[in-house]
Copies of this chain bind each other. A is one copy, B any other.
Amino acid sequence: MSRREPGERIALKHGAGGPAMRALIQHLFVDGLAGAAPGEHIGLRALDDGAALRIDGRYLVITTDSYVVKPRFFPGGDIGRLAICGTVNDLAVMGATEPLALTAAVVLEEGFAFAELERIRDSMREACRDAQAVIVTGDTKVMGKGEIDGIIINTAGVAFAKRVVPDAGLRPGDRIIVTGTVGDHGFAVMAARHDLKLEGELESDAAPLNGLIRDALAAGGDAISAMKDPTRGGLASALHEMAEKSGVGVLLDEQAVPVRPGVRAAAELLGIDPLHAANEGKAVIGVKPESAERVLAALQEHPLGRRAAIVGTCVEDRPGSVVLDTGFGKRLLVEPEGELLPRIC
């Protein structure tokens, strides 16, 4: 961003979850906006999934996301379910697994069908029930026909945490756990958008992870060093960001990463790596080596964690890099600069 030219414009890559987006946010918002919040806090500068404010001996965690997914309905979910799960999960991976309150702000295009809005509202309600979360306030705006593509939903959430789990807490030796199969959401949306007839079932994993993460924290306690949800940019972006911010290298065992057969088939057909595809119901968890098996067992006990697996190890070498062990050799896992699939969430 420091090489920015006059007249430069926003590109799709600036919303892709990868390095271009992080550079935009760092340059434009963090350097330009970050101020001191009152008291001790983990805020904008940490570039984590949310912020945390120290209040009376605990942390108030706060997070926000806007949802623009296209199409609005896809196998396994819709924009309403995503809007609830995404924000609940951002709180959860900070260590705040009991959402206190959510907000929901809807921007609609003139002419949007009520029936569709009701369907989305019902999904939001159902996801709230799954997450034991409640929407306490909201906002409605309407834009003219053609001024917005249908609907955008923003949710924000607040929750208390005794301890904040950062995404930057990995240390050499820590094991990396992923809580289930990767790429499910990305490939489901891709197939729905392009109406691809692919073999095998593709279904989004959109789900609230707070219950699963509560179990992991109960089993692992302080041995859990870092967490992140691998949404835009997939597992590859999440690991890159965690490695970079933690100052460690990550050695990823490709064959250990769980991938559904349908996703694997679609990935081969389309030439897209499941490691780069978005997830909406998975977490990446860093754990001290001696506790990794215990946390893994706790995850596998939970319905959303049955396919959890230990997929990697943190190393001192090559801090900020992710090295992929393919079983046939090792190579650097690159993080694509561009946008794999715009409007994935």
Chain A residues at the B interface, C-beta cutoff of 8 Å: 4, 6-16, 21, 24-25, 28-29, 32-38, 41, 43-44, 48, 50-51, 53, 56, 60, 62-68, 100-101, 103-115, 117-118, 121-122, 124-125, 128, 134-144, 147-149, 152, 154, 156, 158, 339, 342-343
- CB < 8 Å: which of B101, B114, B134, B343 contacts A143? B343
**CB pair B156 A11 closer than 8 Å:** no
Bound CA span A53–B25, Å: 31
**CB pair A113 B9 closer than 8 Å:** yes
Which residue of the partner chain B has the closest CB to A5? Answer: B114
**CB pair A118 B43 closer than 8 Å:** no
Interchain residue pairs with CB less than 8 A apart (23):
A8-B114, A9-B110, A10-B111, A10-B112, A15-B142, A25-B140, A28-B117, A28-B118, A32-B122, A34-B135, A43-B137, A44-B135, A51-B136, A53-B100, A64-B139, A64-B154, A65-B139, A66-B105, A68-B107, A142-B339, A144-B343, A148-B148, A152-B152
- Which of A44, A66, A339 is the most central at the interface, judged by chain B CB atoms within 10 Å of its CB? A66
Known: A114-B8, A144-B343. A156 touches B122 (CB 8 A): no
Known: A100-B53, A138-B64, A141-B15. A152 touches B9 (CB 8 A): no
- CB < 8 Å: which of B12, B29, B106, B140 contacts A104? B29
Bound CA span A33–B140, Å: 14
Bound CA span A34–B121, Å: 11
List the B side residues contacting A137 at CB < 8 Å.
Answer: 43-44, 48, 50-51, 62-64
- Which of A10, A14, A339, A342 is the most central at the interface, judged by chain B CB atoms within 10 Å of its CB? A10
Bound CA span A59–B265, Å: 52
Minimum CB–CB distance from A146 to chain B (whole Å) comes to 8
- CB < 8 Å: which of B11, B68, B103 contacts A64? B103
Which residue of the partner chain B has the closest CB to A103? Answer: B64
Which residue of the partner chain B has the closest CB to A154? Answer: B154
**CB pair A128 B35 closer than 8 Å:** yes
Which residue of the partner chain B has the closest CB to A111? Answer: B9
List the B side residues contacting A156 at CB < 8 Å.
Answer: 62, 64, 103, 105, 154, 156
Not counting A13-B142, A64-B104, a sample of 4 additional A-B residue pairs whose C-beta atoms are within 8 angstroms of each other reads: A10-B114, A15-B141, A25-B140, A64-B103
Known: A41-B136, A64-B137. A33 touches B148 (CB 8 A): no
